Structure 1
Amino acid sequence: MVSIRKVAKSVAALAALMVSHASFAGDGLDSYSLELGAGDQVGMVRAAVQKDWNVQWFASNGRHLGGYWDANIAFWRGTDYRHVSGQNQNLWVIGVTPVFRYQNDNKLGWYAEGGIGASLFSELYNNAGNRLSTAYEFADHIGVGYVLDNKWDISARIQHYSNGGIKHPNSGVNWAVLRVARPF
């Protein structure tokens, strides 16, 4: 089993690499985000960086379909480990997700988005009767948000983690997520 300390060091190194890349590469990463999520007796905090695809598919009436890559690192804390109330499970999750966004051409105002990506867990999830039997999971979400004139991006998402039936049990984990993002 991977220790939390080793995962934390890896996460810190990856975060430092992402920030340094964003600071020094003119065509590198575009934005960063912080997310807070709540599920069935589990909480999450996630940090991420994004790279805009800078494409405009199906452009019409001042709106288009675009998208971005999202690389994220999350910490989960379950409070019903192995279905025992008061027992905690702490784990780390890293992931990457291609996200499609329907938005205004100027990228301000209301938008809707969705994505399906891949995540890797530091250990198998087993909390509140929900079990994931693989460390590799798919992470999909749908959401709506608003980009303010000052470029702050505020959104709400519904997110689901599952291994897609690769191995059982696979009860999945569902989240309500609030997200704030900002360009570098």
Structure 2
Amino acid sequence: MRTGDLALSLAVASIFSAVAIPARAVDSVSLEAGHGDSTRLVRAGVQWNWDQQWWKSNGTHIGGYWDLTLAQWRGSRYRDIGGRSQELAVLGITPVFRFQSDSRKGFYIEAGIGANLLSERYDNDGKRFSTRFQFGDHVGLGYVFANNLDLGLKIQHFSNAGIKKPNPGVDFAIIQLRYGFQ
């Protein structure tokens, strides 16, 4: 089995096992838009909050959630040719750690590293991925309003972590709007 096939198999298995973890209803839904490296991103997601809280102190803690997303990327320089576009679907699952108030309202910072599967290999603006499987890591900050509306900003990087060369990576700046049902 080739390294790329093994990575793809592991990604699919981890996505399905992660989806099986939350046995309860969805805690929130999100919409995101971003741009980077001549590529636009739109993404929808569902989230399941973790019940676990770590390092509780002064009304704050580290908690987190599972983030299951489906995205569309649209590159504007397919095969590095201006005016040619490439559209990809991207399925992702990410465990996200969030430093937040105990009420889950107000300011927060978060970080996560997840698994993503692209519908085809990315080839845009001189950057060509060698695998369809990519890790997606992000750092972000935001604010949760009293009505459970969450407005956030994040920087996200996609890369295969050196599974196969070339591994140029792609970076996005993303704005997120999320609504919590709790």
- TM-score interval, normalised by the smaller of the two chains: 0.7 to 0.9
1:8 maps to none
Post-superposition CA distance 1:61-110 (Å, at most 9, x none): 00000000000000010000010000100110000000000000000000
Cα distance in structure 2, aligned partners of 1:30 and 1:65: 17
CA RMSD of aligned residues (A): 1.4
Matched, 1:65 2:62: yes
Residue of 117, 129, 154 corresponding to 1:157: 154
Q: Give 1:56 shift.
A: 1.2
1:183 maps to 180
- In structure 2, stretches of 5+ residues that fail to align are 1-18
Post-superposition CA distance 1:15-74 (Å, at most 9, x none): xxx9xxx9xx8x321000000010011101000000000221000000000000000000
Q: Give 1:183 shift.
A: 1.7
Structure 1 counterpart of 2:149, which letter? W
Residue of 109, 113, 117 corresponding to 1:116: 113
Cα distance in structure 2, aligned partners of 1:33 and 1:89: 24
Residue of 19, 24, 31 corresponding to 1:34: 31
2:136 maps to 139
Secondary structure, aligned partner of 2:82: coil
Cα distance in structure 2, aligned partners of 1:121 and 1:81: 15
Aligned length: 161
Cα distance in structure 1, aligned partners of 2:30 and 2:109: 17
Q: Give 1:131 shift.
A: 1.4
Identity of aligned residues (%): 52
Cα distance in structure 2, aligned partners of 1:73 and 1:119: 9
Structure 2 counterpart of 1:168, which letter? K
Matched, 1:168 2:165: yes
Question: Structure 1 length as normaliser, TM-score?
Answer: 0.85
Residue of 89, 92, 96 corresponding to 1:95: 92
Cα distance in structure 2, aligned partners of 1:55 and 1:154: 23
Residue of 58, 81, 86 corresponding to 1:84: 81
Cα distance in structure 1, aligned partners of 2:129 and 2:60: 39
Question: Structure 2 length as normaliser, TM-score?
Answer: 0.86
- In structure 1, stretches of 5+ residues that fail to align are 1-17
1:104 maps to 101
Secondary structure, aligned partner of 1:133: coil
1:53 maps to 50
2:11 maps to none
